[in-house]
Amino acid sequence: MARFAAVLLAAAAATLLAAGQLTHAVPSTAGVFWRAVLPSSAVPDAVLQLLRPGTAGNNFVSEAEADGAGAPNLPFDYQNYERSSAPYGYDYKPSSAPYGYDYKAPSEGGEAAPGEHHHAGRGEAATTTTVFFHEEAVRVGERLRFRFPAAAPAALGFLPRHVADAIPFTTPALPSILALLGVAPGTAQAAAMAETLRTCESPPLAGEAKFCATSLEALVERAMEALRTRRVRAVTSTLPRAGAPLQQYTVRAVRPVDGASFVACHDEAYPYTVYRCHSTGPARAYMVEMEGAREGAVTVATVCHTDTSRWNPEHVSFKLLGTKPGGAPICHLMPYGHIIWAKSVKRSPA
């Protein structure tokens, strides 16, 4: 991945220095931008790390792991929920998931509870983790099983906006993009990049806001546009970057997030940071504090979709929870690095 950075910086610098544009490092521009337009919203840890990839002590994946960056953060792989046949970008595509998902009653190891699935990677024993759950589970005292994967951010992090805007981001331009970033055609990473471009270019559903952002500035501005206000805030999960093993978590506290609809952003497979964002439709959001049975307390941002009437009847959540479109709200958490954008509500003093 160091080779990607060298190629990118050489090519971008040659182009942009000639135009007199390359004048600031990302932290000094994007960081200042965030503080200027979102003074009441702290920069989430995951975003902060993307502004300074490769710095000591940031727990980023190693270079060898980074060469595989873009692999899904299983089991919470929301990249595999294409929008072509289901609202809100959650159309399960089992063939593309590296782990073996089995939503039937397993022949051994016991049956999964509603909302859970069994998965097993190479050389791993089968485990069961919660993916989707009903809103009733978002209550103090409820218990859910989760495995939180290690962070797998784009190796180059956020590019300066003027650099990102100078790099083509369309399917027809993919050959030149691969050449610029030093990615060999025909590789798994090239295929993942092609899928990201395809996903970003797919049309939104009627009434849905959808966009892909290749810089922090574009991410914030487009979220404001989708929510129709400049008063927004970023809501993210507080999770260990190194991940956490499968264990049972007990809900200790639940804090509602103000709003009736939100914008959810998921990081996509690409050498530099790309977020795919979409409006949630009618929804409720919560910050859920949970304590692990064996180790660690976490706080997870959770979205509960309250209107699933237009969802694909074959959507995996219905299979897992035994429900149908238009039934009870369906919830899922936001993995590390994923963002919920909410309107910032100014409260009156008590």
Chain-centroid distance, C-alpha 326:
25
**C-alpha pair distances (Å), 86 with each of 67, 90, 173, 207:** 31, 6, 28, 14
Strands (E), 51-115: none
Looking at mean pLDDT, say which of 10-14, 113-117, 147-151 comes out highest. Answer: 147-151
Instruction: Provide the pLDDT for residue 182.
Output: 94
- Would you place residue 53 in the very low, low, confident or very high pLDDT band (cuts 50, 70, 90)? low
- What are the φ and ψ backbone dihedral angles of 268, each rounded to 5 degrees? -110, 165
| Site of tokens 């941002």 | 301
3 state DSSP class of 121: coil
> What does the alpha-carbon distance between residue 285 and residue 39 come to, in Å, rounded to a whole number?
22
Q: Which string of b and e fits 73-90 if b means at least 16 CB within 10 Å?
A: bbbbbbbbbbbeebbbbb
H helix runs in 61-160, sequence order: 63-66
Instruction: Provide the pLDDT for residue 26.
Output: 41
Q: Which string of b and e fits 311-338 if b means at least 16 CB within 10 Å?
A: bbeebbbbebbebebeeebbbbbbbbbb
Amino acid identity of residue 32, one-letter, is V
Domain locations in the chain? 46-53+127-159+207-349
Between strands 263-267 and 275-279, the pairing is antiparallel
> What does the alpha-carbon distance between residue 28 and residue 24 come to, in Å, rounded to a whole number?
6
pLDDT tens for residues 167-205? 999 999 999 999 999 999 999 999 999 999 999 999 887
pLDDT tens for residues 281-334? 999 999 999 999 988 899 999 999 999 988 889 899 999 999 999 999 999 999
Burial grade of 117 (CB within 10 A; 0-12, 13-18, 19 or more): buried
DSSP 8-state symbol, 98: S
- Would you place residue 42 in the very low, low, confident or very high pLDDT band (cuts 50, 70, 90)? confident
3 state DSSP class of 265: strand
**C-alpha pair distances (Å), 71 with each of 77, 102, 196:** 9, 20, 12
Chain-centroid distance, C-alpha 330:
18
pTM: 0.75
Is residue 264 within 8 A of residue 334, CB to CB? The reply is yes
